[in-house]
Amino acid sequence: MKKSEIIENILNGKIFIYPTDTLYGIGCNAMNKASVEKIREIKGRDKKPFSVIAPNIFWIKDNLIVDCDLEKYLPGPYTVILKKKDPAFLKHVAEGDTLGIRIPQHEFTKLVQRAAVPFISTSVNLSGQPSVLSLVDIPKEIEDKVDFIIENQGEMSGVPSTLVINGNKVPRK
């Protein structure tokens, strides 16, 4: 598929399995509420918040209160948790007053950035199950419900992104 077709499908709310610098993710245009809810259904996930791949640093600064040096963490294998300027912003993605932001160091991220929309970033797995490191390990019940699968074109660490809260690295539980 051409890059322009991928971007068009991102904008149209299609659901992707895609590589990042850490793990395979499942995502969609975060502005598309119906697609976000479909990802919740696919994963069997409750209202636990999703993180997003940010289109760029300016988007982050426009919508969130930045309390750390973003350039220290992004792009990279980090999820930076920031307070929303407007608590209603992307409420269907994260109900609370914070939002997790990623900018993975990966080629697919560049396509998300060209689409200029926030993009859901959550691991490909059924809720509570281990993350998927290889396309052959994607559960069939997930694979059958997505629109596109993007193969990895680079290295993935296999380790979930490190959380950054209040400017500090926090181990995942």
pLDDT per residue as tens digits for the range 84-104: 999 999 999 999 999 999 999
Say what the pLDDT of residue 152 is: 79
Q: What is the CATH number of the domain that holds 133?
A: 3.90.870.10
Instruction: Identify the helix (H) or strand (E) that includes residue 83.
Output: strand 78-84
With bands split at pLDDT 50, 70 and 90, how would you rate the model's confidence at 158?
Answer: confident
> Mean pLDDT throughout 4-24?
95
Name the residue with higher pLDDT: 159 or 155: 159
Crossing angle of the two packed helices 107-115 and 3-11, in degrees rounded to 10: 50
Give the type of residue at 122: T
Cα angle 122, 92, 159 (rounded to 5 degrees) comes to 15
**Entry pTM:** 0.93
Say what the pLDDT of residue 154 is: 61
The number of folded domains in the chain is 1
Check if the beta carbon of residue 138 is closer than 8 Å to that of residue 18: no
Residue 123 belongs to domain spanning? 3-170
Q: What is the mean pLDDT of the chain?
A: 93
